[in-house]
């Protein structure tokens, strides 16, 4: 196992950005930059042992700075997903956030955690090699209350897991919901649409949303609808029946805050498969609906449905939905979440 670092580029203000390259004993390789905590590349073998890069992204920092990166591979915060009208109330105070998705707030606002430089520290221990990223989001930043001290640790293990641990502490009551926004294509990032991938999600329910993708506050069964992935189904087999494609928050079965299987994906042609485990109550399945071929990364053109995201998270708009699991963090408490993406061949 190894971890090394190289220069990735410079920000407009001259600050240097690094790229960390983590490898395990089986040859898996993950590249992560401390700009946005972005996973830029992830190489895993197919059933013949041939490696491919299975995440969409860029091989140059500029690709991410150009401002049209749809959150490729990044850490999302302070609040992953949407907050209605960019408003919420806490302890009698009303907070106003950026409305960067029509009338709503999305993925932390104008300059979320995907667009900031994190402090990085390389870790080598008996679990694997890791990258510890820390960032202090100041009181009032993007409109959110409280100084929020965040730590995200990426660990690559010899069991072919990429483990992401999130921690945060605040000095004022606030809301937190962190995730990672990797777009996967198990055929390879340049492998075309993900229609043939078989997806399974451990969720009997989802949170129905309005036409701005904002939850209406209900929890409804997936049974009998094209959203039902309780057994493995090809992503493309019913996608035409879902207006706009998949972009839904699944309510994971049996949530109790412990690490549980959330789902799995397999690309039958290559044999590459991925299992997802999380401590979170929800998972957004997004089928890359807004990719339209206008972004080129790592030599590929990223067209509609050429990558999928499985964003483990609390439910969208929880700060305004009293019946959803709470995203409130109080001073003295510790926010702690873990998600594992485990890679295998079938």
Binding residues (CB under 6 A) for ligand BGC: these are 70-71, 213, 247, 284, 286, 290, 309, 311
Return the number of the residue (161 or 311) whose C-beta is nearest ligand BGC. 311
Task: Clarify whether 311 is annotated catalytic.
Answer: yes
Which of 99, 153, 146, 109 shows the shortest CA–CA distance to 131? Answer: 153
Say how far apart CA 180 and CA 107 lie, in whole Å: 11
269-to-10, 134, 208, 272 alpha-carbon distances in Å = 39, 39, 33, 8
Task: Clarify whether 181 is annotated catalytic.
Answer: yes
Work out the burial of residue 138: count CB atoms within 10 Å of its CB; fewer than 13 is exposed, 13-18 middle, 19 or more buried.
exposed
Tell me which of 58, 181, 189, 314 is the catalytic residue.
Answer: 181
Task: Provide φ and ψ at 174, rounded to 5°.
Answer: -150, -175
150-to-71, 169, 241, 256 alpha-carbon distances in Å = 19, 7, 40, 23
Q: Which residue is nearest to ligand BGC (CB)?
A: 70
Q: In which region does residue 109 sit, left (phi positive, over 0), alpha (psi from -120 to 50) or beta (all else)? A: left
Provide the minimum distance between the beta carbon of 291 and ligand BGC in the complex, in angstroms, as a whole number.
Answer: 8
Task: Provide φ and ψ at 83, rounded to 5°.
Answer: -125, 125
Provide the minimum distance between the beta carbon of 70 and ligand BGC in the complex, in angstroms, as a whole number.
Answer: 4
Tell me the longest C-alpha to C-alpha distance in the chain.
59
Say how far apart CA 199 and CA 215 lie, in whole Å: 23
Return the number of the residue (71 or 184) whose C-beta is nearest ligand BGC. 71
Return the number of the residue (230 or 289) whose C-beta is nearest ligand BGC. 289
Size of the chain, expressed as the number of residues it contains: 346
- Residues with Cβ within 8 Å of 14's Cβ and at least 6 positions away in sequence, in order, are none
Say how far apart CA 72 and CA 80 lie, in whole Å: 14
* Bond into 78 cis (ω within 30): yes
Provide the minimum distance between the beta carbon of 245 and ligand BGC in the complex, in angstroms, as a whole number.
Answer: 10
Tell me which of 142, 196, 280, 311 is the catalytic residue.
Answer: 311
- Catalytic positions, written as ranges: 181, 311
């Amino acid at each position: 196992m190894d971890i090394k670092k190289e220069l990735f580029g410079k920000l407009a203000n001259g600050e240097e950005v690094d790229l960390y390259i983590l490898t395990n004993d089986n040859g898996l390789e993950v590249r992560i930059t401390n700009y946005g905590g972005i996973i830029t590349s992830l190489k895993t073998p197919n059933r013949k042992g041939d490696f491919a890069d299975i995440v969409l992204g860029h091989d140059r920092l500029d690709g991410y700075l150009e401002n049209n990166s749809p959150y490729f591979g990044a850490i999302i915060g302070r609040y992953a997903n949407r907050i209605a009208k960019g408003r919420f109330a806490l302890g009698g105070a009303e907070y106003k956030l950026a409305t960067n998705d029509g009338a709503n707030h999305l993925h932390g606002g104008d300059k979320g955690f995907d667009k900031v430089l994190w402090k990085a520290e390389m870790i080598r221990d008996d679990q694997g090699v890791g990258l510890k990223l820390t960032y202090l989001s100041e009181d009032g930043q993007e409109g959110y209350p409280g100084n929020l001290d965040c730590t995200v640790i990426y660990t690559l293990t010899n069991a072919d897991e990429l483990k992401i641990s999130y921690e945060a502490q605040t000095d004022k009551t606030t809301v937190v919901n962190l995730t990672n926004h990797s777009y996967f294509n198990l055929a390879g990032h340049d492998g075309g649409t993900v229609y043939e991938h078989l997806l399974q999600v451990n969720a009997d329910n989802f949170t129905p949303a309005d036409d701005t993708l904002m939850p209406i506050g209900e929890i409804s069964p997936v049974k009998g609808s094209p959203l039902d992935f309780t057994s493995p189904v090809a992503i493309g087999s019913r996608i035409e029946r879902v207006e706009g494609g998949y972009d839904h928050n699944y309510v994971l079965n049996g949530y109790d805050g412990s690490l549980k299987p959330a789902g799995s994906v397999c690309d039958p042609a290559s044999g590459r498969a991925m299992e997802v485990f999380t401590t979170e109550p929800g998972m957004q399945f997004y089928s890359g609906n807004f990719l339209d071929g206008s972004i080129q990364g790592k030599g590929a053109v990223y067209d509609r449905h050429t990558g999928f995201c499985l964003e483990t998270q609390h439910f969208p708009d929880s700060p305004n939905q009293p019946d959803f699991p709470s995203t409130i963090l109080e001073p003295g408490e510790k926010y702690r979440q873990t998600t594992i993406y485990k890679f295998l061949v079938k």
